[in-house]
């Protein structure tokens, strides 16, 4: 019984470690755009690690500067896309 409990706990720990964060993915593109009012958008396009979908967001310059194409990136306040 003790072995069964230990095996179960190891399985539980392993499965929780292998769960993907569906608010994360790989940066596929970065752009700077300026609208008609002169407002800048420092955008990152991210391919979701769970769904494979891509989405583009505008970020502060400092976030944009740190995010490089090909790197893993997590978007806060988003569950998935």
Number of H helices, E strands in the chain: 2, 4
12-28 exposure pattern, b = at least 16 Cβ within 10 A, e = fewer = eeeeeeeeeeebbbebe
pLDDT computed for residue 6 by the predictor: 56
Nearest of 76, 74, 66, 78 to residue 46 by alpha carbon: 74
pLDDT computed for residue 15 by the predictor: 47
pLDDT tens by residue, 19-47: 678 999 999 999 999 999 999 999 999 99
CA distance 15 to 75: 23
pLDDT tens by residue, 42-71: 999 999 999 999 999 999 999 999 999 999
30 and 69 Cβ atoms separated by less than 8 Å: yes
Over 80: is that where the pLDDT of 16 sits? no
- pTM of the predicted model over 0.75: no
């Amino acid at each position: 019984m003790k072995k069964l409990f230990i095996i179960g706990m190891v399985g539980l720990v392993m499965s929780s470690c292998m769960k993907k964060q569906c608010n994360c993915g790989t940066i596929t593109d970065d752009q700077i755009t300026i609208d008609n009012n002169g407002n800048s958008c420092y955008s990152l396009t991210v391919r979701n690690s769970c769904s494979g979908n891509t989405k583009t967001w505008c970020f502060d310059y400092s976030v944009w500067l740190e995010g490089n194409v090909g790197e893993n990136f997590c978007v806060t306040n988003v569950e998935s896309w």
